Chains A and B, each alone.
Chain A
Amino acid sequence: MKNKLLYIIMLIAIVLGVIVICIKGFNLSVDFSKHQRILVNIDTEFDIKDMKKIAKESFKSDYKVRKSNLFGTAVIFDVKDVSDEEIRNLLDKINEKYGTEYNIKQVKLPQIIEEMNLSDISSMTDDEINEKITTIIEEYDLEYTADELKETSSKVRLINVEKIKLYDYLKPYILPSIISFVLVLVYFGIRYCKLEKNAWFKEPFKLLIKTVLIQLFLISAIAITRIPVNEYLAVALISILMLQIIVETVKNENRAIAKKGKKD
């Protein structure tokens, strides 16, 4: 009875999970989702805690802060959704603390150059450059001078970071997990074939169903509770799979001992 109730709860959770995944998808962590990266060279060593504080005050969505270059003088902010206003806030705070003079135009320039194919701007005529400047004002609401557009080295950059496909991340884990699981199913079929009638088939089948249910339940629970999906998802799923296998094996061994005891 207890088991039935448990299975029903699991099935309901799985159905809900599928609906949530279809409608909203997983709540991907910053690393896994499409996000924007702001790279700022401070040119002096800094305490990452200060940067985290600045980020906390500046960004509304999920973010990640880390040092960037090997000398520890640059910082990277990975932000899920960032507005121009938030970037301005961030730069103001950095300028205030570290005496730098960065502005949003510098941050967005490399991105604009890439998006508008302006890498050969030096070879353009003045009219062409003026036309591009007008387009930039219209599209980005930022006004650059011709000299600013020709400036190639920037100490602050905004980079569009694509999402990591969940399948790409999980792919290496799939085959080894399936191979080992199939081996365990075969072992269950051989080892527990005498536990009951047709146990050679029933035991592996039961294990298969339970495992699929538990794994789907976990995935659904992650989707429903909106726990951020990060690099530890596969680790968690595999750890639980192994734990479940141990529990099932111990249970079956106990059953086998009990059966042997009865016979004796």
Chain B
Amino acid sequence: MKSNKAIKNLTILAVIILILILAFISFIGIPKNKLKDWEKPDYSFSKEIEGKGVSSITFYVDDSTKEIEEVVKSEDKEETEENKSDESVEDTVSVNETVSTDENSTEVADTTNEEKSSEDEEPETTTVKKTVPVNGDGVLNKDNYKKTKSIIQERLKEYGITDYSIRLNEDNGNLNLEIPYDHDDIDNVVKLVTSYGSVEIIDTDTNEVLLDNSDIKNAKAYYQPSQSVDDGFDFYLQFEFNNDGLKKYRDITKQYVETIDSEGESKIKSITIKIDDEDKYVTYFAADGNYTYLGFPLYQGVTDEETLTKNNEDTVMTQYIINSGKLPIVYTINSDSVYYMETSNVFNIVKVSVIILIVAVAIVAIFMILKNKKLGIFSLLLEIGYIAILLIIIRNSNDIILTITGLISILGATLINYYFLACMMKHTENRFLVTLKDMVLRIIPLLLFTIVFIYSNVLYLESIGKVLVWGMLISLVYNATLSNLLFYLCDKETIEGAEK
């Protein structure tokens, strides 16, 4: 009988020691190098807690001009010549719809169909260079500024930045973004905002636009082992078309093929895929092929690791940019656009949270000890063990970023566990199962919130969701094992039974 009691006391002692070890590991760390250093993984904190700072990036509406080539038919050309003589040099350079009077433009004008036209009596076509504003006058309005802003927000969301603030000057369209400071992110964000996102699939010979953004349902980035280079990779972009686009695409796949003429010579009619006015790929189709998607490589035969990462990132970014739609307005940055700002917390959020947690636990503990005496003391010990395990999990989990809501959720999880312990103390028979049934019914609504929040893609909500779900899971396992065992061993009847 005495040995039974001794075993029970020893078990209680073992549980207490286990809890203390857990608390030690969690709050102080694991000893390393003869107790000189203590190893403890760091928490991942959000920008406002970590004081990591933010990058402020200002994007300006691009007021520069660009040169474009336009194919002009003979009648149009005459009109153009008239325009040239009528309008002043200044006007034609800066205004969108007129042909440049730059002398070079007429020098480089290329008569493409001259000979053929005299034979077939088709109108003569000439390629002329025009200087036009990057953003035409008609596009700079409030609606387009707002549309641009929402497309940029969509791009940032796709890229995974949710913790940002965006400001739009509705008078001039300039945009300011504040994102958590990360040197690598700055370049990518600049690319996301300044990329126009235009896709054109054109006839390589005539430049006729066959398909554009309006025909594309979505773009998808992927990579696969290279067909041309050993141990290399190709990075692809694949377009899926909407109904209209698919019809057009199927027609194109029948027309843009390799043919053999009567003299036995091969003739290839090809398409060029252009993204943001840049030729990305030239291709043609197999005459007997049945095509649904259009996949093409953006990068081929990449072998070194650094370029692999860069190209993969670039392909995925292009996917985000195309899927979020074409920007109505083109933006640019200047040398003063980017600067760093520290976060300015008026108080140390972590310190304050720890104090609040300690005070809350202390208040509940006093109440519990007064009410339940010995069991109350054990419940405090158990609660400390619970907090220790929760913090170990949060620290070691790669995907929990603690925001201010996450810190509040730690307090919430602690109080929920204390409530669980309080309910367990009320029962003596089937203590855990009875309490579990009551608890589950009480926390189902909270669980619904947390599950939705985990998938919300909003940092502050994800933090709540992940901390609370872990908190509830740990509470369940911890109370089913350690708490249940300790309470069982401390029960009066158990002790009396052991003594008997």
Contact = CB atoms under 8 A, between A and B. Distances in A.
A63 to B, nearest CB: 10
B455 to A, nearest CB: 8
A231 B461 contact: no
Interface in B405-425: 405, 408, 412
Interface in A139-169: 157, 159-165, 168-169
Contacts of B464: 238, 242
Given A234-B460, A245-B449, A253-B442, A239 B408 contact: yes
Interface string B45-60: 0001000000000100
Given A39-B339, A245-B449, A164 B405 contact: no
A172 B460 CA distance: 10
Given A183-B452, A187-B444, A231 B48 contact: yes
B442 A249 contact: yes
Interface in A103-141: 110
B262 to A, nearest CB: 60
A235 B336 contact: no
A163 B405 contact: no
Contact of A179 (B344, B412, B452, B457): B452
A245 B456 CA distance: 19
A64 B344 contact: yes
Nearest to A231: B48
B456 A176 contact: yes
Nearest to B458: A172
Contact of A69 (B48, B339, B448, B460): B339
Contacts of B456: 172, 175-176
Contacts of B58: 159
A214 B162 CA distance: 28
A168 B442 CA distance: 34
Interface string B324-368: 000000000000100111111000000000000000000000000
B142 interface: no
B405 A239 contact: yes
B461 A173 contact: yes
B110 interface: no
Given A68-B342, A231-B48, A245 B445 contact: yes
B165 interface: yes
A161 B165 CA distance: 12
Contacts of A80: none
Given A232-B404, A245-B445, A66 B344 contact: yes
Given A68-B341, A249-B445, A235 B405 contact: yes
Interface in B153-186: 153, 162, 165-169, 176
Using C-beta atoms within 8 Å of the partner chain, give the interface range for chain A: 35 or more
B1 interface: no
B441 interface: yes
Interface string B443-483: 11110110111011110110010000000000000000000
Interface string A210-239: 000000000000000000000110110011
A31 B460 CA distance: 18
Contacts of A183: 448, 452
Contact of A180 (B341, B408, B452): B452
Contacts of A168: 153, 165-166
B438 interface: yes
A160 B168 CA distance: 11
Nearest to A39: B339
Contacts of B343: 66
A184 interface: yes
A93 interface: no
A191 interface: yes
A64 B461 CA distance: 27
Contacts of B446: 242, 245-246, 249
A187 B441 contact: no
Contacts of A235: 404-405, 408, 460
Contacts of B165: 31, 164, 168-169
A253 B441 contact: yes
Nearest to A232: B404
Contacts of B153: 168
A159 B337 CA distance: 11
A70 interface: yes
A242 B165 CA distance: 25
Contacts of A64: 344
A169 B165 CA distance: 7
A76 interface: yes
Contacts of B443: 246, 249
A97 B372 CA distance: 62
B341 A76 contact: yes
Nearest to B454: A176
A19 interface: no
Interface string B255-279: 0000000000000000000000000
A116 to B, nearest CB: 13
Given A165-B168, A172-B162, A245-B445, 4 more contacts: A168-B165, A183-B448, A187-B448, A249-B443
19 contacts: A68-B341, A69-B339, A161-B167, A168-B153, A172-B458, A176-B452, A176-B461, A179-B452, A183-B452, A188-B445, A191-B444, A235-B404, A238-B405, A246-B442, A246-B446, A248-B445, A249-B442, A250-B442, A253-B442
